[in-house]
Amino acid sequence: MAADELASLAAAGGSAVVAAMATDAWRVARDGIAEIFHRLEPRRRRAIEGQLDDQAMLVEHAADPEAARNAVRGAWILALDMLLREHPAEAGNVGKLVEQILEQLPQAGRTRVQTQFVIATDQATSFGVQGSGSLHVHNYHGDVSDESGYAADDGLQE
């Protein structure tokens, strides 16, 4: 699996674990992540479980649970990114766990992370669409200017 695919999977995994905090899906997420880390780094299981439990408690008791989830999400994305870079063969297990968590989450809590890489070279134009939005990017290099004298590299001109 390519590095960008592993990063996307880490983002999906971290987001799913955090989305499960303080929901009925928590046990599946907690036990699944703890098992993956335990299999690869047996000494860290208790530390991982403690971290998961502490953060889930923060989310559960927070005045704004979504703000609390946002605060801890990055840590789990980073942890899974590091794990998958060191052990890319675990991608299948992480992917299965993400699906299990998403199946357990209430519809409103289901999150999917979409990452899109678009590469355009030379004078190319790129089009990217995610969900119902669209993005159109022109990338100008060099001394290109229109008749008004303003440089076109500000990205605002069509």
Write the pLDDT tens digit of every residue in 87-124: 999 999 999 999 999 999 877 666 544 445 556 666 67
Look up the pTM and report it. Answer: 0.69
Predicted local distance difference test score (pLDDT) of residue 2? 85
Rounded to whole angstroms, the Cα distance separating 58 from 56 reads: 5
With the C-alpha atoms ordered 64, 66, 70, 76, is the resulting torsion angle positive or negative? positive
107 against 27, higher pLDDT: 27
* Residues 6+ away with beta carbon under 8 Å from 128: 116, 118, 134, 135, 137
Name the residue with tokens 């063969």: 89
DSSP character at residue 23 = S
37 against 152, higher pLDDT: 37
